[in-house]
Amino acid sequence: MNILNILAEIEKVDPEVYERLDQRRQVFKHFAGFGKKLAAAAVPLAMGSMFQKAYGQSSSLGKQITDVLNFALTLEYLEYYFYDMGVKTRNLFVQADLAAITIIRDDELKHVNFLKAVLGSSAIAPLTANDFDFTGSKGGTRAPLISEVFRYRQNFLALAQAFEDTGVRAYKGGAPLLIENNTVLEAALNIHSVEARHASHIRTMRRGGTQANGLPKSWITGNEGGGPLPSVTAPVYGPGMPADMFPSEANVTQAGVNLTSIPNVTADQASEAFDEPLDMATVLTIASNFLK
Amino acid sequence: MSKVMHDATEAKGLSEELQTPLERRTFLRYTGLGLAVGGLALAGCNDVMEDMSQTQSASATAADMANMVDVGSGDVGVLNYAYALEQLEAAFYAQVLQTQYYNSTSAPQRVALRDIEAHERIHREFFKQAITAAGATPIKDLEVDFSSIDFRTKQGVLSVAKAFEDLGVAAYNGAGKLIKSAAYLTIAGKIVSVEARHAAIIRDFLEYNTFVGPDVVDQNGLEKSMTPAQVVAVANNFLKEGSKLNVSNLPTE
């Protein structure tokens, strides 16, 4: 059934249907206006232009905001192609793993499409799978940082954890730069928490599932000893620039409050309770290892 | 109730698939107040939470409001709102750690619940100190009412944990834009991702690979926010009279 017919039918009995579609209601109103001409196959494309209307013309967003969103878009491309290659690699995963990686891959694609739609003509040129080298060898021009990423589950998941934890830190670092635009800020926060859910699950997978004890935990303890591949991933958990604004994940002082002064709180617990933001330059340095 | 029937009758032309959720939502909207509130919250479903919030906020009278805890206005109000939610979560996990369920469940669940209890307690104490340090007054210690929670079973404990964690994430996501100070916005961001990490593992404990899902994330891959009014309509079900939250003075944008 066509989504427009659905909405029209519901509106007959429930005049407030568009309001119930909460933040998307404006989108759907625009959509209904010219939607009849559209075949179902064209819906995703049309949604894109609708989102741009709903979220404001990209030209009016301002350079700071488009810079942050394009930065986020770059990371989403990186994650999407990484997971897509994983999903498409035979025998890399058992079924439960494959289900999870597919869910995450699909979320990342939605993030790519959403950010592209919001940015409109201000979006960076689309990146393709060929723009990335997930071994970190920059297309064979240097020694790989991690070999056989798509052959061994643990290698893949190690990189996945690094990407997700980096993504969480990146959105957190970007949020204050979006503070002037409530709609864009909220959307960025709404992506940020999804990345954190992904990060938690990837960590559970690396631990051996919900029946397994051990490391890594689903949250970040201290600086995680540099992470799953310290020679490559230490910057994911380390300080950014400047370090007082972007401390390492081991930080235990928040807004001047030393959390370890709270009774019965260890430094590990204090560091776990707060994730830390990371600046764009440091994030891009991490990401550029995997861009050709 | 007649309104429910009316809507249902007119909806006849629609497919079954559509009719069902409409009827459910309409039903909840008109009868949700006071009806098996604990049970609804246990479902941990955002749709239910939103419906409950509409009924509840509409029902709050002036007399009710006078007996409520006003979290205040401006950035400090938002901090006190967060402090209230962290009090609720911390109290819940503190009680969980006292249960037979906790003592007898699997080691991975015990480790996770123990960690989460510490994190929520840290969040609570952090807000109390940070609000004081900002020269403002933290709200009082809230008295919780967990009488609707079944602390004996995995399902009872973890379904409420899931509801609280998902609620917390939706609450912080909705509150971010209400904060004027970049520093406080960053603090909220530092906490919300930890709540999301909690939510994911709790959901995975309940059903593997439900760390994320359409109940909390929309078709664009964005997690659904909740407004303070929507959040406290749920949270107030777990707070005693005299500790229920009034968020009507918070900024709305």
Are A147 and A120 within one domain?
A: yes
pLDDT number for residue A60? 76
Look at residue B60 and tell me whether its pLDDT is greater than 90.
no
Give the pLDDT score at B64. Answer: 75
**Cα separation of B239 and A93, whole Å?**
45
Is the four-CA dihedral B27, B32, B37, B42 of positive or negative sign? positive
* Gap between the Cα atoms of A247 and A125, Å rounded: 32
Per the CB < 8 Å rule, is A189 touching B189? yes
Which among A172, A189, A192 is positioned nearest to A181, based on CA atoms?
A189
ipTM over 0.95? The verdict is no
Q: Name the residue with higher pLDDT: B175 or B14.
A: B175
Same domain, A250 and A185: yes
What's the gap in Å between the CA of B40 and the closest CA on chain A?
20
Average pLDDT of chain B? 83
Does B27 score more than 70 pLDDT? no
Tell how far CA A144 is from the center of its chain: 24
Q: What are phi and psi of A278, to 5 degrees?
A: -135, 145
- Cα–Cα distance between A188 and B188 in angstroms, integer? 13
pLDDT at A17 over 80: no
Q: List chain B domain ranges.
A: 2-63, 65-246
Residue count (chain A):
292
On whether both A101 and A230 belong to a single domain, the answer is yes
Distance from first CA to last CA of chain B, Å, rounded?
35
- Per DSSP, the residues of B102-118 read HHHS-HHHHHHHHHHHH
Query: At A253, which helix (H) or strand (E)?
Result: strand A253-254
Lowest mean pLDDT of A200-214, B39-53, B118-132, name the range. B39-53
Tell me the nearest-neighbour CA distance from A176 into chain B, angstroms: 5
Average pLDDT of span B209-227 = 98
The beta-carbon neighbor of B14 closest among A9, A103, A186 is A9
pLDDT at A49: 55
Contact B222 A199 (CB under 8 A): no
In whole angstroms, give the CA distance from residue A187 to residue A292.
Answer: 29
Per-residue pLDDT at A53: 57
Q: A131 and A203: one domain? A: yes
Using an 8 Å CB-CB cutoff, list chain B residues near A20: 25
Instruction: Determine the pLDDT at residue A48.
Output: 52
Does the beta-carbon distance from A256 to B218 stay under 8 Å? no
Cβ pair A191:B221 closer than 8 A: yes
Q: Which residues in chain B are contacts of A103 at CB distance < 8 A? A: 209, 212
Q: How far apart are CA A28 and CA B37, in angstroms?
A: 32
Q: Mark whether A38 and A133 lie in a shared domain.
A: no
Confidence of residue A125 (pLDDT cuts 50, 70, 90): very high
Cβ contact, residue pair A255, B187, below 8 Å: yes
Instruction: Indicate if the pLDDT at residue A263 is higher than 70.
Output: yes
Q: Which residue in the set A106, A109, A185 is minimally distant from B177, CB to CB?
A: A185
| CB-CB contact of B14 with A10 (8 Å) | yes
Q: Residue B22 has what pLDDT? A: 37
Least confident of A18-22, A106-110, B21-25, B151-155: B21-25
- The answer to whether residues A22 and A73 belong to one domain is no
pLDDT digits 0-9 by tens, A219-239: 999 999 999 999 999 999 999
Minimum distance, in Å, between the CA of residue A231 and any CA atom of chain B: 25
Q: How confident is the model at residue A4 (pLDDT cuts 50, 70, 90)?
A: very low
Handedness of CA B247, B250, B251, B253 (dihedral sign): negative
Residue B46 has pLDDT above 80, yes or no: no
pLDDT band at residue B66, thresholds of 50, 70 and 90?
confident
User: Is A151's pLDDT higher than 80?
Assistant: yes
Check if the beta carbon of residue A139 is closer than 8 Å to that of residue A292. yes
Query: Distance between CA atoms of B108 and B110, rounded to whole angstroms?
Result: 5
Size of interface A-B (CB pairs under 8 A): 225
Name chain A contacts of B229, Cβ cutoff 8 Å: none
Question: For residue A183, what is the nearest residue in chain B, using CA coordinates?
Answer: B177
Q: CA of A37 to nearest chain B CA: how many angstroms apart?
A: 22
Helix (H, G, I), strand (E, B) or coil at A160: helix
Contacts of A69 (CB under 8 A, 6+ apart): A61, A115, A118, A119, A122, A184, A188
Answer with the one of A13, A38, A55 that is the final residue of a domain. Answer: A55
pTM: 0.82
> Around Cβ B6, how many Cβ atoms within 10 Å?
12
A112 with A251, same domain?
Answer: yes
Q: Determine what percent of chain A is predicted with pLDDT higher than 90.
A: 79
Q: Are A45 and A181 in a shared domain? A: no
Q: Quote the DSSP letter at residue A116.
A: H
A85 lies in which domain range? 61-288
What pLDDT is attached to residue A289?
Answer: 97
> What is the average pLDDT across B196-219?
98
Residue written as tokens 């409409």? Answer: B22
Q: Are A218 and A200 in contact (CB under 8 A)?
A: yes
Angstrom distance (rounded) from CA B125 to CA B83: 8
Least confident of A257-266, A272-281, B16-25, B209-218: B16-25
A269 CB neighbours in chain B (<8 A) are 115, 118-119, 122
Which chain A residues touch B173 with a CB distance below 8 Å? 186, 189-190, 193
The b-or-e profile of A29-40 (16+ CB within 10 A means b, else e) is: ebbeeebeeeee
What pLDDT does B15 receive? Answer: 35
For B65-246, CATH number out of 1.20.1260.10, 2.40.37.10, 2.40.10.120, 1.10.287.180 equals 1.20.1260.10
- Count of structural domains, chain A: 2
The tens digit of pLDDT for each residue in A232-258 reads: 999 999 999 999 999 999 999 999 999
Question: B111: which chain A residues are within 8 Å (Cβ-Cβ)?
Answer: 213, 217
| Closest partner CB to A114 (pick from B115, B133, B221) | B221
